[in-house]
Amino acid sequence: MSFPELFAIAVALAMDAFAVSVCAGCALKRVTAVHFLRLSLTFGFFQFLMPVIGWALGLTVRGFIESWDHWIAFALLAWIGGNMIRGGGDDSEDGESCSVDPTKGRKLLILAVATSIDALAVGLSFSLLNINVWGPSTLIGVVCAAITALGLLAGKGLAHADIFGRRAELVGGCVLIGIGLKILYEHGVLS
């Protein structure tokens, strides 16, 4: 998988974190360096960790499913992308996730896990496609940390940040589905 493809995956995976960080930026009365560090580093770490866990899980079952790996990778990416598209188009959010300080304690950990679950499935896809996970996971974590910081900054600067965040999630979902289709094409399914 090329660097541009991995970078696109990293950006797509970071869209959930971006949407949450925009919301956090809207909720905080004053965004400090501590808020940036806590949110960015925690989200980035979980986005790094989840692909590694998914990859390790995938190593245990790879021998059983190598002939179907491209279909599984496509299904996982399409499922993740579809969920992101559905979530990105959901106008029923009430903004409760922005109450209090979302960069502290248990709430921060819950948000970090929730925004990085998709990366677990991507790690499984890496295993099925026999891609070493360490470089891509590091890139995913760093990109997520940077995008999270940008989202927090955007949340303070944009008047309608929640609408912008949902659109970003839509784009992220489309990118994941596109990458899944490319995997099928590379395996001769769509040629």
Give per-residue pLDDT as tens, 42-64: 999 999 999 999 999 887 876 66
Q: 178: which residues sit within 8 A by CB, 6+ positions away?
A: none
Specify the amino acid at residue 145.
A
Q: Distance between CA 142 and CA 71 in Å, rounded?
A: 28
CA distance 8 to 176: 8
> Sign of torsion, CA 104 161 87 53?
negative
pLDDT at residue number 99: 44
Tell me the pTM. 0.72
Are 51 and 116 in contact by the 8 Å Cβ rule? The answer is no
Distances (CA, A) of 41 to 34, 78, 159: 10, 28, 26
Per-residue pLDDT of the chain (191 residues; tens, 9 = 90+): 889 999 999 999 998 889 888 877 776 767 889 999 999 999 999 999 999 999 998 878 766 666 676 787 788 778 877 876 776 655 544 443 444 677 888 888 888 888 888 898 899 889 888 899 999 999 999 999 999 999 998 877 763 444 555 566 676 678 778 888 888 888 788 87
Q: What was the pLDDT predicted at 89? A: 58
Tell me the per-residue pLDDT of 98-108, one tens digit each, with 9 for 90 and over. Answer: 446 778 888 88
Say how far apart CA 162 and CA 25 lie, in whole Å.
10
Task: Report the 10 Å Cβ neighbour count for 36.
Answer: 18
